Amino acid sequence: MMEYYNYLKSLHLIFVITWFAGLFYIVRLFVYQIEANEKPSPEKEILQAQYKIMAYRLWYIITWPSAVLGSIFAFWMLFFTEAGHIWLSQSWMHVKLCFVFLLYLYHGKCHQIFKQLQNDEVKYTNNFMRLWNEGATIILFAVVFLVVLKSAINWIFGVIGIILFSVLIMLGFRFYKRIREKK
């Protein structure tokens, strides 16, 4: 089984990357759908129809399959390889699996928002969605630092860094929004 380990690892990484790409872009589409809802007719209806199609294809053709396949290959590596058994006994992996659980919760909430927007239910603001998009980024940073450093403690510095970076981005966004509103 170990001769196949690097193939499993490669497939896992490919599908995790496409899963995150889908999560990042779906929230961006949510922003566009919410902003389209504020447009006058017929622009509103045209944009909403297009964004619904784009979101549907992204969600069901890329994001969901990537989540499932990334999880299958991770499960396979953890439970059917020697390396996986070793990792499961280490504390950094326990912390990583907690972040993976948070990622599943994030994905589930995105699915709920996706269904609402597909049914023309707008329950969130575009600013909320911009902040919501940072959730996947924070999880990504935490997991990458955990996997690379293999430390249940050192990942904290990476997460603190991305949170500070996110705050700076949001401050920049607010500053840009004020400039845009003055024009």
pLDDT (tens digit per residue) in 120-177: 999 999 989 988 988 898 889 888 888 888 875 666 776 777 778 778 877 887 887 7
Amino acid identity at 112: Q
- Given a cut of 90, whether residue 84 has pLDDT beyond it is no
Q: What would the two tokens of residue 81 be?
A: 């390889």
Number of domains in the chain: 1
Per-residue pLDDT tens over the stretch 87-112 = 888 888 888 899 999 999 999 999 99
Peptide bond before 42: cis, by omega within 30 degrees of 0? yes
Q: 100 and 143 in contact (C-beta within 8 Å)?
A: yes
Cα of 93 vs its chain's centroid, Å: 20
**pLDDT at site 147:** 87
% of the chain with per-residue pLDDT over 70: 96
Q: 142 and 101 in contact (C-beta within 8 Å)?
A: no
**pLDDT at site 181:** 81
Per-residue pLDDT tens over the stretch 5-32 = 889 999 999 999 999 999 999 999 999 9
Percentage helix, strand, coil, to 5, in the chain? 85, 0, 15
**pLDDT at site 5:** 85
**DSSP 8-state assignment for residue 59:** I
Print the domain residue range for 169.
Answer: 2-182
- Determine how many CB atoms are found less than 10 A away from the CB of residue 50: 13
With H, G, I as helix, E, B as strand and everything else as coil, classify residue 71: helix
**pLDDT at site 63:** 98
- Report the predicted TM-score, pTM, of the whole model to 2 decimal places: 0.85
Name the binding residues for heme.
12, 96
Name the binding residues.
12, 96
Reported as a pLDDT band with limits 50, 70 and 90, residue 58 is: very high
